[in-house]
C-alpha cells in the first residue's frame, strides 16, 4: 500500500512506524506538517491509499481528511482527548495507559477507533514513557489498523459506542505543574518534573532566576532547608525538599537552550559545595550518578546515563577514565549498557552551542568533543584483555552508533532504532573511526549507502545487513536479563582465551595494513572543514536542532514523492 506519514517531525516514533511499514513492503513517504497547502500538495503528488499521522501538533485540513482515511496516533486510552495526554496520565498516577489509532474528523481526537493498545504505566519521565511504552504500543496499533484498513471489511468503531474510561482534558498549564518547595515532598517534585520532561519542563526559579527544570533524580541521604540548592555534582544541582532532596540535571533559562544545570548557572554553581560520589564508579544508593560500574563474576558492566544520549567533552573523558579503570578489574567481558532511553547520540550539540553563546567558540568545542569521543572509541577498539559488548536497550544515533561499533559485539533490543549516519547534521562527515569499523562490517558499498541514504534502521534490519551481532526481544528489563545471561555465557566459553587471542591478532593485522591513527587523521581532516571551513552548514543545522526551529520543508530523502524521478503509478 502507498502510505503517507504526515508528521510534525521525523521523531523516533515516526521513524519506527516508517521502518516497520517499509519492512512489510508498504511504500512509505514522509511529509512534515508545515501548512495545509503543503499537505494538500503532498497528497496530490503521492496519491496515498492511506495517511498515517504519528505526531501532529495541529489538525489535518478538511480538504484532506474528508477525501482520504487519515489515521491519527493519540498517546492516550480510548476516549482520552487533548494535547497533554501523557502529562495527565502521570499526574493522575494512572496504573494503565494506552495508545489509540483513530480516524481524523472535524473534532480533534473524536473520530472512530481503528485500533487501541494498552500498557501498564511505569514510574518514569514522560519522554521515557513515550520512547518505550507509547512507541511500542503505537507500532502494534498502527500495524493492526493498517491491516484492518487493507482488509477492506473492517468498520472502525465510533467512540460514543465504546465503554471508555478516557475523557477530554485541557492543555496542562504551568500553574498545574508548579512546585511548592515549602510543602512538596521529594516524591511530588519527582512526579511533577517527570510529567513535564523533555517538554515543556516545570517553570521555576534557581538562584532567583526564572528557568524550566528537567531531568530529576532522587537523593537518598542528603538534606537541607527546603528549596535551597545544597550541593552540586558534575552537571547536576541538589535541591532540598521538605522530606529530603532531589537532583536537577538540566535547566532551560529564559531565552536560552536546555543545558546541564551547572553549565546554565556556571558562576552560581561554582559557589555551591561539591559532593562527589563516595565509591567512585561503583553503584550507590539512589542519588545522581551518570556513570556506574557493577561486577558479576567475570562480567563488568558500565552504565552511562547521559541525558538524551548526548556526550560532552567532559562526559567522554570521564567515561574513558571509567573504562580504563574497569579494564584493570579481573573481568573477561565488559558490557557497555548506555542509559535507559538512549545508548548514545554522539557529541553534545547543546553544550557545543552554549560555547557560542558565551565568549567561547562552538567550532573549538566541537573539535574538543569529537577528539574526546575518538579517544574513548580508540580505547574501546584497543581493549586487549576483555571482549567488549555494546548492549543497546535504547536508541542510538550518529557518533553514538559508531562508538557502539567500536566494541567487539553489538547486541540491540528488537524495539531499538539506530541512525548510523551523520549527514543530517549539516553534512557532518563524522568520525569515531567509522571509516574503519563500518566497511569492515558491511562492505564498502553498503557503508556508502548507509551514509548516503540516512535511513533509520530497526535492530532486525541492522542485524540483517551485518551492522550488529544480535537482536534480542523483550522489554528493557527482559533485555537486560538476557544480556547478563549471554555475557556470563561468553565469559564462561571454553574458547574465550582463543577468542581474545584472535581479537588481538586481527587488531595487529589491521593496524599493520592501516593504522587507526591514519583513519582518525583522515576523518578529522574532513571534520575540521565542517567545523572551521567556509561552509557553515553544520553550525546552522546545530543552531536549528538545539533550538527546535520549526521545519520549513521536508528533507528530500524523506519526501520521496517530491523526488523528480518519482512516478505515482510506477
Ligand atoms: N546533543 C544534544 N542533544 C541531543 C543530541 C545530541 N547529540 N541528540 C539528541 N538530542 C536531544 C534532542 O534535542 C531532544 O531534546 P529534548 O529533550 O529537548 O526534546 C532529545 O535529545 C531527543 O531527541 P529527538 O530528536 O527528539 O529524539 P529521537 O529519538 O526522535 O531522534 C536522533 C534521535 C538521534 C535521530 C536525533 O536526536 C538526532 O538526529 N540527534 C543528533 C545526532 C547528531 O547529529 N549528533 C552529532 C554528531 S555525532
CA-proximal residue: ligand 1, atom 16 (nearest): 198
State how far Cα 121 lies from the chain centre: 20
Q: Which of 252, 312, 345 to mutate to test the pocket of ligand 1 (most atoms within 8 A of CB)?
A: 345
Locate the domains of the chain by residue range.
2-171, 174-270, 291-545
CATH fold of the domain at 291-545? 2-enoyl-CoA Hydratase; Chain A, domain 1 (3.90.226)
d(CA 54, CA 10): 9
**Interval 221-270: pLDDT, tens:** 999 999 999 999 999 999 999 999 999 999 999 999 999 999 999 999 99
Backbone φ and ψ for 94, nearest 5 degrees, come out as -60, 140
What would the CATH number be for the domain defined by 174-270?
Answer: 3.10.25.10
Cell of 368: 574538543
**pLDDT (0 to 100) of residue 163:** 77
Number of helices (H), then strands (E), belonging to the chain: the values are 21, 22
Pocket flag, ligand 1, residue 425 (CB < 6 Å): yes
Nearest to 117 by CA among 92, 95, 105, 134: 134
d(CA 112, CA 537): 44
Closest atom of ligand 1 to CA, residue 127: 17
Name the CATH architecture for the domain at 2-171: 3-Layer(aba) Sandwich (3.40)
Expressed in angstroms and rounded, the spacing between residue 23 Cα and the centre of ligand 1 is: 24
Q: Tell me the sheet residues that pair with 7.
A: 32
Q: How far is CA 390 from CA 60, 282, 560, in A?
A: 41, 19, 34
Closest atom of ligand 1 to CA, residue 258: 18
Pocket flag, ligand 1, residue 431 (CB < 6 Å): no
Q: How far is CA 521 from CA 3, 8, 65, 542, in A?
A: 44, 39, 53, 23
pLDDT in tens, the chain (570 residues): 999 999 999 999 999 999 999 999 999 999 999 999 999 999 999 999 999 999 999 999 999 999 999 999 999 999 999 999 999 999 999 999 999 999 999 888 889 999 999 999 999 999 999 999 999 999 999 999 999 999 999 999 998 888 778 999 999 999 999 999 999 999 999 999 999 999 999 999 999 999 999 999 999 999 999 999 999 999 999 999 999 999 999 999 999 999 999 999 999 999 999 999 987 899 888 999 999 999 999 999 999 999 999 999 999 999 999 999 999 999 999 999 999 999 999 999 999 999 998 888 999 999 999 999 999 999 999 999 999 999 999 999 999 999 999 999 999 999 999 999 999 999 999 999 999 999 999 999 999 999 999 999 999 999 999 999 999 999 999 999 999 999 999 999 999 999 999 999 999 999 999 999 999 999 999 999 999 999 999 999 999 999 999 999 999 999 999 987 777 665
Pocket flag, ligand 1, residue 11 (CB < 6 Å): yes
Pocket flag, ligand 1, residue 422 (CB < 6 Å): yes
Contacts of 66 (CB under 8 A, 6+ apart): none
d(CA 63, CA 37): 10
Does 2-171 match 291-545 in CATH topology? no
Pocket flag, ligand 1, residue 105 (CB < 6 Å): no
Expressed in angstroms and rounded, the spacing between residue 323 Cα and the centre of ligand 1 is: 24
CA-proximal residue: ligand 1, atom 8 (nearest): 345
Residue 56 contacts residue 36 (beta carbons within 8 Å): no
Expressed in angstroms and rounded, the spacing between residue 345 Cα and the centre of ligand 1 is: 6
Pocket flag, ligand 1, residue 326 (CB < 6 Å): no
CA-proximal residue: ligand 1, atom 34 (nearest): 397
Q: Which of 308, 309, 458, 530 to mutate to test the pocket of ligand 1 (most atoms within 8 A of CB)?
A: 308
**Interval 341-369: pLDDT, tens:** 999 999 999 999 999 988 889 999 999 99
How many other CB atoms sit within 10 Å of the CB of residue 143? Answer: 17
Nearest to 510 by CA among 425, 440, 416: 440
Q: Which of 348, 397, 426 to mutate to test the pocket of ligand 1 (most atoms within 8 A of CB)?
A: 397
Q: b or e along 4-19 (b: 16 or more beta carbons within 10 Å of the residue's beta carbon)?
A: bbbbbbbebbbbbbbb
Cell of 260: 546541564
Nearest to 52 by CA among 83, 85, 88, 16: 16
Q: Global pTM?
A: 0.96
CA-proximal residue: ligand 1, atom 20 (nearest): 308
d(CA 11, CA 17): 10
- Three-class DSSP category at 144: helix
Burial class for 57, CB neighbours closer than 10 Å (0-12, 13-18, 19+): exposed
In the DSSP assignment, the letter for residue 233 is: E
pLDDT mean across residues, the chain: 96
Residue 341 contacts residue 377 (beta carbons within 8 Å): no
Expressed in angstroms and rounded, the spacing between residue 350 Cα and the centre of ligand 1 is: 10
Pocket flag, ligand 1, residue 354 (CB < 6 Å): no
Amino acid at each position: 500500500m502507498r502510505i503517507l506519514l504526515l508528521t510534525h517531525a521525523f521523531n523516533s516514533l515516526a521513524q519506527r512506524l516508517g521502518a516497520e511499514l517499509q519492512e512489510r513492503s508498504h511504500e512509505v513517504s514522509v511529509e512534515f506538517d508545515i501548512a495545509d497547502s503543503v499537505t494538500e500538495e503532498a497528497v496530490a503528488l503521492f496519491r496515498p491509499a492511506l495517511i498515517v499521522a504519528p505526531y501532529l501538533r495541529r489538525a489535518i485540513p478538511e480538504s484532506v481528511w474528508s477525501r482520504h482515511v487519515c489515521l491519527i496516533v493519540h498517546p492516550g486510552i480510548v476516549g482520552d482527548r487533548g494535547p497533554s495526554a501523557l502529562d495527565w496520565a502521570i499526574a493522575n498516577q494512572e496504573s494503565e495507559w494506552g495508545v489509540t489509532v483513530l480516524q481524523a474528523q472535524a473534532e480533534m481526537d473524536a473520530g472512530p477507533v481503528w485500533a487501541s493498545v494498552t500498557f501498564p504505566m511505569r514510574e518514569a519521565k514522560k519522554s521515557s514513557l513515550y520512547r518505550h511504552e507509547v512507541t511500542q504500543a503505537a507500532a502494534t496499533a498502527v500495524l493492526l489498523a493498517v491491516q484492518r484498513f487493507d482488509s477492506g471489511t473492517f468498520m472502525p468503531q465510533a467512540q460514543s459506542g465504546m465503554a471508555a474510561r478516557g475523557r477530554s482534558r485541557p492543555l496542562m498549564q504551568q500553574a498545574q505543574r508548579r512546585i511548592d518547595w515549602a510543602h512538596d515532598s521529594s516524591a511530588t517534585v519527582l512526579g511533577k518534573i517527570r510529567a513535564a520532561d523533555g517538554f515543556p519542563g516545570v517553570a521555576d526559579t534557581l538562584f532567583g532566576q526564572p528557568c524550566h527544570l528537567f531531568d530529576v533524580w532522587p537523593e537518598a541521604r542528603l538534606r537541607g532547608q527546603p528549596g535551597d540548592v545544597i550541593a552540586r555534582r558534575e552537571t547536576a544541582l541538589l535541591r532540598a525538599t521538605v522530606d529530603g532532596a532531589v537532583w536537577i540535571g538540566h535547566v532551560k533559562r529564559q531565552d536560552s537552550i536546555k543545558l546541564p544545570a551547572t553549565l546554565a548557572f556556571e558562576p552560581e554553581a561554582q559557589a555551591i559545595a561539591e559532593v562527589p560520589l563516595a565509591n567512585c564508579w561503583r553503584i550507590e544508593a539512589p542519588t545522581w550518578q551518570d556513570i556506574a560500574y557493577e561486577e558479576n563474576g567475570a562480567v563488568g558492566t558500565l552504565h552511562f546515563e547521559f541525558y538524551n544520549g548526548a556526550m560532552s567533552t567532559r562526559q567522554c573523558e570521564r567515561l574513558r577514565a571509567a573504562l580504563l579503570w574497569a579494564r584493570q578489574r579481573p573481568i573477561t567481558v565488559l558490557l557497555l549498557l548506555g542509559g535507559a532511553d538512549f545508548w548514545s547520540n554522539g557529541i553534545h550539540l547543546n553544550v557545543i552551542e552554549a560555547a557560542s553563546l558565551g565568549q567561547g567558540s562552538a567550532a573549538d568545542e566541537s573539535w574538543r568533543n569529537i577528539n574526546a569521543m575518538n579517544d574513548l572509541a580508540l580505547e574501546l577498539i584497543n581493549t586487549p584483555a576483555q571482549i567488549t559488548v555494546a548492549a543497546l536497550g535504547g536508541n542510538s544515533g550518529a557518533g553514538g552508533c559508531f562508538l557502539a561499533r567500536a566494541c567487539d559485539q553489538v547486541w540491540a533490543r528488537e524495539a531499538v532504532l539506530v541512525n548510523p549516519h551523520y549527514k543530517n547534521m549539516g553534512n557532518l562527515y563524522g568520525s569515531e573511526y567509522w571509516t574503519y569499523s563500518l566497511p569492515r562490517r558491511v562492505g564498502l558499498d553498503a557503508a556508502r549507502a548507509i551514509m548516503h541514504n540516512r535511513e533509520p534502521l530497526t535492530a532486525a534490519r541492522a542485524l540483517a545487513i551485518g551492522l550488529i551481532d544480535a537482536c534480542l526481544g523483550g522489554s528493557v528489563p527482559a533485555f537486560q536479563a538476557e544480556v547478563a545471561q549471554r555475557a556470563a555465557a561468553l565469559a564462561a566459553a571454553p574458547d574465550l582465551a582463543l577468542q581474545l587471542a584472535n581479537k588481538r591478532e586481527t587488531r595487529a593485522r589491521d593496524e599493520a595494513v592501516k593504522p587507526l591513527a591514519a583513519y582518525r587523521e583522515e576523518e578529522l581532516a574532513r571534520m575540521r572543514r565542517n567545523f572551521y571551513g567556509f561552509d557553515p552548514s553544520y553550525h546552522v543545522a546545530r543552531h536549528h536542532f538545539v533550538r527546535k526551529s520549526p521545519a520549513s520543508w521536508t528533507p528530500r530523502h524523506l519526501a520521496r514523492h517530491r523526488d523528480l524521478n518519482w512516478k505515482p503509478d510506477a
